[in-house]
Amino acid sequence: MAGMKAKLGVRASLQDHFRTPQLQSPFHPRLASLMSGAHWYDWAGYAAPHFIRDEELEYFAIRSSAAVFDISPMVKYRITGRDAEAFLNKLTLRDVAKLKPGRVHYTAWCDDDGQVLDDGTLFRWSQSEFRLCCQERHLPWLLDSASGFAVSITEETAEIAGLALQGPTSAAILKQAGFAEVAKLKPFDIAGWKHGLFEAMVSRTGFTGDLGYELFVPVNKALALWDTLFAAGALRGIAAIGYDSLNRARIEAGFIVANADFVTSETALRADRTRYPDEIGLDWMVAMEKPVFNGKRAIVHAREKGLMRHMLVGLEIEGNEPAAGAILYHGKKIEAGLVSAAIWSPTAKRNIAIASIERRFAGAMANDLWAEIYAMRELRYQKLMKRARIVERPFIKLARRTQTPPADF
Amino acid sequence: MKFFDVVIIGGGHNGLVAGELLARSGRKVAILEAGERFGGLAASYEFAPGLSAPICNFISKIPSFLHEKLQLEKHGFTNGKTGADTISLDAGSETLVLHGSYGAQLSGVTPEENEAFQTLRKRLMLQARLFADLERQVPVQPGSASFRQKAAIAYSMAKQRLSGTEEFRQLLRMALMCVADVTEEAAIGPRLCGLLGFDATLGYRLGPRSPTSLMGLYSRLAREIAGKGGGIVANSAAEGIAEVLARAASASGAVLMAASKVSSITMENGRATGIVLESGAEISARHVVSSISPIATFGQLVGYQNLETGFGREIALLRHKGSVSKLFLALDAWPDLKGGARYVHAPSTAHVETSFNAVKYRQMPSDPPFEFVICREQTGKAAAIVSVTIANTPYDLDAGWTGGRKKLASSILTRMNLLVPGLRKSVIASEVLAPPDIEARFNLPGGHWHHHDYQSDRMYALRPALGAGNYRTPVDGLWICGAGTHPGGGVTGLSGYLCASELMAERNGRWPA
């Protein structure tokens, strides 16, 4: 009896995952100690901050000084081998042959029906070494796609910690921290940073439309990286931020988020909710000259037969009431689409939105679009019908984003 | 480099039928066979020096309409008037014999059993008529079916409905049942239950108690209907269907190339443009038609790297582990059996079902059910040739097949000797082909007779997979026919015929002059 109890004890101790239902990022100790309360949300199983102290201040850290955002929960795959390029060419929409070692590109991938499974960034470290970063988990799909290729695929989400350092002073902070090469990095370049305490992979990328970098280190070096950046950035306004402020910056930059601005095809429950790349503004990615890639036949067919029904657009909406979740109407009557993200943009000083509309309303009919906004005014909704205009994305274009070498703010 | 309108991979009977029809339509056709002789599993097999035996020992007739279309009569092949007898060897007061088209008459049963069987047979035949209809139609593929194709299936369904409310209800009730439940509720007696259970599951990875196992019987009966009654016993001596089809294809102008194993399908910008032989020679073609297993076609010749992931996943998941073995015997004396009949050892449902456990658990069955035919040997080296087909012998035997072949031969011969006393001592030569041997000799992954399982999830437009269910494939220019496509295995030529007719309906089907 006693033996049995002991055995049960051992088994129970091996199965205590339920005691910590949310995983903690390697930066959790720093985030938690800076945070004013417990403003956590769930990002792919990890506790991630909505904000640290104040969303407003954090937004201005992105645009005026430097913001640090923990991207460790982002799903990461390491893809290596002789056929890695060929494999990724079949998997993703863009032509990976055009991605040189030491470069990053934004890409997306589809199922056989041409419906987008996810979007993400592809880092090419060398001829045969890649890292794919994305929102959803795809290991079974990646492994099945790898049949016939000499390639090895491992998920390294839990092994690699990532930080985004974004904002005008981000380059100066990295320089201060001892990364001299930062001046040479052009947008989408990758470089290795050998610091005394860690070795990081640094790319000039980000999700803010601002000058910024993303840094990756093994998880056991995570805190060393954090502390190095904060020490170097003390006089340059470095601040930890949460997702809410980042979300504002990304809307201004016109970036879309999987399962917010479009539904990924593996998670969609309703057959008509999935999207072709052309329906979420990613038609430019599709490298039709590649002989085979997932979704090619379906995309060719849909383009030929005019089966694309939706379109993702940037909107400018009159007034200053953010139109999040608003239904769009043509002529204030016929339903035309839905706003998936909207803010009052502090930088553009405009009321902006990202929306999905039916294609037939995007042409000549686009000058009669209206957003139905319910504004809460002292415990009563006031229904506003505001004119919406289709405008170019990104909503803001900052010269410092691409300027090389970056200015020393 | 040689140019053809159509190059056909695999000289099995479906490849030959497709080749004959396409060549006759004026297209320049090459049929490539990896082995020395044409016919694939429909051909005969030399199991000992100078001694050949039919591999498929009991085959359904070629459907009458196709028989006429191919003018097989002219090439010296007749379907014959009546079907061969099926004889159950297992103990009973009298020998159980199914005469004609699947027991149109019975002998060796009680009057009650006879009446029950005829009632059941009538009902099953009526239901199988739907299957017979669908077997000669190109499956309706969602999104790409012609009006004619949709009208054909609607007509067949309506026809079935018009057979009466009661019979239609019975079809809906029974279609997905297991054969054991159907035969037991019909009260046809244990020997007939065993026989029907065996016939419904031979070559499928199912036991008589597995749900949907009645489908296998429908498929068999559908062929009885299409071929106007009865199966035929293949003969080692006379010219078989394989040779006749090869001659017919040749006469129509198709170029038959033996010993020409294809190593890959050439792809240009995602389109199949020809093939490369193992010798290194290349052949260019407007259309490539593969009659070999879809697993070999896509996995080996096209390569998964050239397929979109979802479709490649479907193909890789096809269940293709065979469970049928062959035993060939040469006898120095003709035993107390008659030629031109099929003999079966399947005494009861319980026997067939218990033996199916061996497949589930990768074991050697102790007394597996089997069927065999006996035919004359023409060269005089033996008095008789026996071709045995053994069920429930798993491809992936846990203990491996190295010692397994001998063990299997011995257990079958022991049983045969009990059923036909004295047979064992007259054996002068024998060979066992286990599923891995069939795989190796016939380039057939898994050694599966039907290329992959023929079950409800892999029938009609889902065979071999959605997106390739109407003989076209996601690879432009590549077509498939053969047992891996609708309507599945058996020597009917239907798959080759349907594929050829779809290809001929395609515009620009000819190589530009």
Does residue B298 belong to the interface with chain A, where contact is any CB pair within 8 Å?
no
Question: What is the C-alpha separation between B273 and B270, in angstroms, rounded?
Answer: 9
Q: Which H/E stretch holds residue B285?
A: strand B282-290
Average pLDDT, chain A: 96
- The Cα of A148 is separated from the nearest Cα of chain B by a number of Å equal to 5
Cβ-defined contact of B305 to A297 (cutoff 8 Å): no
Does residue B403 belong to the interface with chain A, where contact is any CB pair within 8 Å?
no
pTM score over 0.90: yes
Query: Phi and psi dihedrals of A156, rounded to 5?
Result: -125, 25
Distances (CA, A) of B99 to B13, B63, B89, B287, B341: 27, 20, 14, 45, 10
Q: Which H/E stretch holds residue A88?
A: helix A84-91
- The Cα of A145 is separated from the nearest Cα of chain B by a number of Å equal to 5
Q: Mutation target for A interface from B269, B297, B302, B309: give the one with most A CBs within 10 A.
A: B309
Does residue A90 belong to the interface with chain B, where contact is any CB pair within 8 Å?
yes
Cβ-defined contact of A292 to B306 (cutoff 8 Å): yes
* B304 neighbourhood in chain A, CB within 8 Å: 147-148
Contact A308, A341 (CB under 8 A): no
- pLDDT for residue B81: 59
Question: What is the C-alpha separation between A131 and A307, in angstroms, rounded?
Answer: 33
Return all residues near B252 (Cβ < 8 A) that are at least 6 apart: B19, B20, B21, B23, B24
Does residue A293 belong to the interface with chain B, where contact is any CB pair within 8 Å?
yes
Question: What is the C-alpha separation between A184 and A404, in angstroms, rounded?
Answer: 7
Average pLDDT, chain B: 91
The pair of structure tokens assigned to B166 is 């009661």
Q: Which H/E stretch holds residue A276?
A: none
B305 vs A90, A111, A297: nearest CB: A90
For B12-50, the pLDDT digits (tens) are 999 999 999 999 999 999 999 999 989 888 888 889 998
B105-107 and B96-99 beta bridge pairing: antiparallel
Does residue A136 belong to the interface with chain B, where contact is any CB pair within 8 Å?
no
Q: Could you write out the DSSP letters of every residue in B239-262?
A: --HHHHHHHHHHHTTPEEESS--E
Positions of chain B with pLDDT lower than 50, given as ranges: 236-238, 508-513
Instruction: Give the total residue count for chain B.
Output: 513
Q: B456: which DSSP letter?
A: G
Q: Could you write out the DSSP letters of every residue in B49-108?
A: TTEEEESS-EEEPPPHHHHHHTTTTTTT----SSPPEEEE-S-SSS-EEEETTTTSEEES
**ipTM for the assembly:** 0.91
Question: What is the C-alpha separation between A297 and A295, in angstroms, rounded?
Answer: 6
- The Cα of A81 is separated from the nearest Cα of chain B by a number of Å equal to 14
A112 vs B267, B268, B308: nearest CB: B308
The pair of structure tokens assigned to B508 is 């620009």
Question: What is the C-alpha separation between A348 and A171, in angstroms, rounded?
Answer: 23
Cβ within 8 Å of B, A 258-287: none
- Whether the pLDDT of residue A3 is over 70: the answer is no
* B307 neighbourhood in chain A, CB within 8 Å: 292
B386 CB-contact burial (10 Å; exposed 0-12 / middle 13-18 / buried 19+)? buried
Query: Phi and psi dihedrals of A199, rounded to 5?
Result: -120, 125
- Closest Cα partner for B438 from B497, B393, B384? B393
- Closest Cα partner for B98 from B130, B67, B126, B120? B120
**Four-CA torsion B394, B398, B402, B404, nearest 10 degrees:** -50
Does residue B421 belong to the interface with chain A, where contact is any CB pair within 8 Å?
no
Assign A40 to helix, strand or coil.
strand
Enumerate the β-bridge partners of residue B370: B345, B390
A147 vs B304, B467, B474: nearest CB: B304
A261 CB-contact burial (10 Å; exposed 0-12 / middle 13-18 / buried 19+)? buried
Cβ-defined contact of A147 to B270 (cutoff 8 Å): no
Does residue A112 belong to the interface with chain B, where contact is any CB pair within 8 Å?
yes
Question: What is the C-alpha separation between A89 and B308, in angstroms, rounded?
Answer: 11
- pLDDT for residue B507: 61
- The Cα of B279 is separated from the nearest Cα of chain A by a number of Å equal to 23
- pLDDT for residue B236: 47
Q: Which residue of A has its CA nearest to B466?
A: A112
Question: What is the C-alpha separation between A197 and A177, in angstroms, rounded?
Answer: 11
Question: What is the C-alpha separation between B438 and B12, in angstroms, rounded?
Answer: 14
* B316 neighbourhood in chain A, CB within 8 Å: 144, 147
Q: Which residue of A has its CA nearest to B467?
A: A112
- The Cα of B165 is separated from the nearest Cα of chain A by a number of Å equal to 36
Question: What is the C-alpha separation between B469 and A244, in angstroms, rounded?
Answer: 49
Q: Mutation target for A interface from B308, B311, B314: give the one with most A CBs within 10 A.
A: B308
Contact B254, B23 (CB under 8 A): yes
Is the pLDDT higher at A279 or at B377? A279
Cβ-defined contact of A91 to B307 (cutoff 8 Å): no
Tell me the residue type at A31: L
Longest dimension (CA), chain A: 80
Distances (CA, A) of B51 to B244, B269, B383: 20, 48, 11
Q: Which residue of A has its CA nearest to B474?
A: A297
Cβ-defined contact of B305 to A149 (cutoff 8 Å): yes
Cβ-defined contact of B305 to A148 (cutoff 8 Å): yes
- pLDDT for residue A193: 98
The single residue listed with the structure tokens 């159950």 is B88
The pair of structure tokens assigned to B206 is 């199912």
B167 CB-contact burial (10 Å; exposed 0-12 / middle 13-18 / buried 19+)? middle
B313 vs A144, A295, A297: nearest CB: A144
Contact B11, B481 (CB under 8 A): no
Helix B147-161 and helix B165-174, axial crossing angle in degrees, nearest 10? 110
Q: Mutation target for A interface from B267, B273, B297, B305: give the one with most A CBs within 10 A.
A: B305
Question: What is the C-alpha separation between B96 and B503, in angstroms, rounded?
Answer: 46
Contact B180, B209 (CB under 8 A): yes
Q: Which residue of A has its CA nearest to B307?
A: A292
For A184-231, the pLDDT digits (tens) are 999 999 999 999 999 999 999 999 999 999 999 999 999 999 999 999
How many CB pairs below 8 A link A and B? 52
A51 CB-contact burial (10 Å; exposed 0-12 / middle 13-18 / buried 19+)? buried
Assign A32 to helix, strand or coil.
helix
Does residue A83 belong to the interface with chain B, where contact is any CB pair within 8 Å?
yes
For A120-172, the pLDDT digits (tens) are 999 999 999 999 999 999 999 999 999 999 999 999 999 999 999 999 999 99
- Whether the pLDDT of residue A24 is over 50: the answer is yes
Does residue A180 belong to the interface with chain B, where contact is any CB pair within 8 Å?
no
Q: Which residue of A has its CA nearest to B269?
A: A291
Does residue A143 belong to the interface with chain B, where contact is any CB pair within 8 Å?
no
Query: Phi and psi dihedrals of B3, rounded to 5?
Result: -120, 135
The pair of structure tokens assigned to B147 is 């009006």
Is the pLDDT higher at B376 or at A68? A68
Query: Phi and psi dihedrals of B380, rounded to 5?
Result: 90, 5
End-to-end CA distance of chain B: 16
B282-290 and B478-480 beta bridge pairing: parallel
- Closest Cα partner for B290 from B3, B32, B4, B25? B32
Assign A66 to helix, strand or coil.
strand
Q: B12: which DSSP letter?
A: B
- pLDDT for residue B450: 94
Cβ-defined contact of A147 to B269 (cutoff 8 Å): no
- pLDDT for residue B235: 60
Distances (CA, A) of A247 to A55, A170, B485: 10, 19, 51
The pair of structure tokens assigned to A17 is 């995952």
